């Protein structure tokens, strides 16, 4: 892993800028779903993952409450991830048709997956300040990707 991205991942994981989100992910990790009662939740902000030589970036809004917030990886451990990784496997982008946890040896080919927001917001409704706080992380993630030469977004101004 590139040292810049490794450092950014650590910063994301340790972020506490949004008290509402920190409180919510803590609540989720205690009030688990029945099928996840015996699991230890990640319960921290979720950084992106994938290949730094990516030509493709897959971007979601936020980690799922009992998906990424539980597993520590975006699009992992929930139905959206099941669908996504099955599709990525079928076209040769992923080495596995599933993503279960951080230790499942999943590898991506020329693809990076992340979320704009690094913590799940209550009712999937982020506040402006939360989007603004995470936009710095998102900008740095995308600019660290070597083959994605330029990108542009205007979501900051659309709220």
Average pLDDT for consecutive 10-residue bins of the chain (159 residues)? 77 97 97 93 96 89 95 94 96 95 93 96 96 94 75 47
Angle of CA points 158, 62, 147, to nearest 5°: 80
Residue 77 tokens read as 């451990």
Q: Global pTM?
A: 0.88
All structural domains of the chain, each given as residue ranges with its CATH number in brackets, are 3-147 (3.40.470.10)
pLDDT of 64 = 95
Residue 9 tokens read as 């991942």
Contact yes or no for 137/11 (Cβ under 8 A)? yes
Residue-wise over 107-145: b if at least 16 C-beta within 10 A, else e?
Answer: ebbebbbbbbbbbbbeeeebeeebbebbeebbeebbebb
pLDDT of 36 = 92
SS3 158: helix
Rg (CA), the chain: 15
Contact yes or no for 132/108 (Cβ under 8 A)? no
Contact yes or no for 88/111 (Cβ under 8 A)? yes
Three-class DSSP labels, 128-153: HHHHHHHHHHHHHHHHHCCCCCCCCC
What values do phi and psi take at 147, rounded to 5?
-100, -5
pLDDT of 149 = 55
pLDDT of 159 = 43
Contact yes or no for 148/140 (Cβ under 8 A)? no
């Amino acid at each position: 892993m590139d040292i810049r991205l490794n450092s950014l991942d650590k910063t994301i994981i340790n972020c506490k800028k949004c008290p509402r989100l920190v409180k919510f992910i803590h609540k989720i990790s205690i009030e688990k779903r029945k099928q996840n009662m015996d699991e230890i939740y990640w319960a921290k902000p979720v950084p992106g993952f994938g290949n730094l030589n990516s030509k493709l970036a897959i971007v979601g809004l936020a980690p799922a409450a009992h998906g990424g917030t539980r597993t520590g990886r975006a699009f992992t451990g929930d139905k959206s991830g099941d669908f996504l990784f099955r599709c990525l496997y079928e076209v040769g982008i992923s080495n596995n048709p599933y993503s279960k946890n951080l230790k499942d040896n999943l590898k991506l080919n020329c693809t990076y997956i992340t979320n704009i927001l690094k913590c799940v917001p209550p009712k999937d409704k982020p506040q402006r300040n939360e989007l603004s706080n995470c936009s710095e992380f998102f900008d740095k993630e995308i600019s660290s990707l070597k083959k994605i030469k330029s990108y542009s977004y205007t979501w900051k101004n659309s709220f």
